[in-house]
Amino acid sequence: MGNYVLTSEVRAFKVDGLSIDLTNYLDSEIETEIGLAEETIEDFTNDIFYSKTETNVFDGNGLTELYFFTQVPYRLISITSVKELDTNGTTVLNTFTKDVDFKQYNYHLEMVSRIHPRTLKSIWPKGIKNIEIVGSWGRSSSPQRLKGQLFIWS
């Protein structure tokens, strides 16, 4: 963890202008408490408040929109790549381009270019674990109010 607040920030935190004496605590002990507070916040909000690069693989649904929730509950910030994989998940069958093949939203992608001949709608190819998305997930920054809560909980 350690994505929201640094140990040095906890040591420097003041309550009503007064410093808190943390000299009896090792940095590792403070880091453990920060981790527990961060875990509590993420469990409660079902979100992360930092950006992380991650590869996620989804089932293609044969529909216009490919939703991430519940597999990935946090938002998609930016995309590095979107690929259709074969049934073994090893061979790339197609590579999709943002704003050409799909539109990006926080919690889903909308296909705009792959027209299904029967429905005449743009759809994601159906399959199990066949759509790989590499990107930045979460939030671009931690709100200052969240850092204040971490100081209190730690």
Tens of pLDDT along 13-29? 877 888 888 889 999 99
User: What's the pTM?
Assistant: 0.76
- 50 or 116, which is more confident: 50
Category of 16 on φ-ψ map: left (φ > 0), alpha (ψ -120 to 50) or beta? left
Q: pLDDT value at position 154?
A: 47
pLDDT in tens, 101-115: 999 999 999 998 766
pLDDT in tens, 26-45: 999 988 988 888 888 888 88
- Cβ atoms of 67 and 107 within 8 Å: the answer is yes
Residue 92 pairs in a beta bridge with: 85
Question: For 46-71, how does the pLDDT look when each residue is reduced to its tens digit (9 = 90+)?
Answer: 888 888 899 999 999 989 999 998 89
Cα angle: 60, vertex 105, 116; to 5 degrees: 40
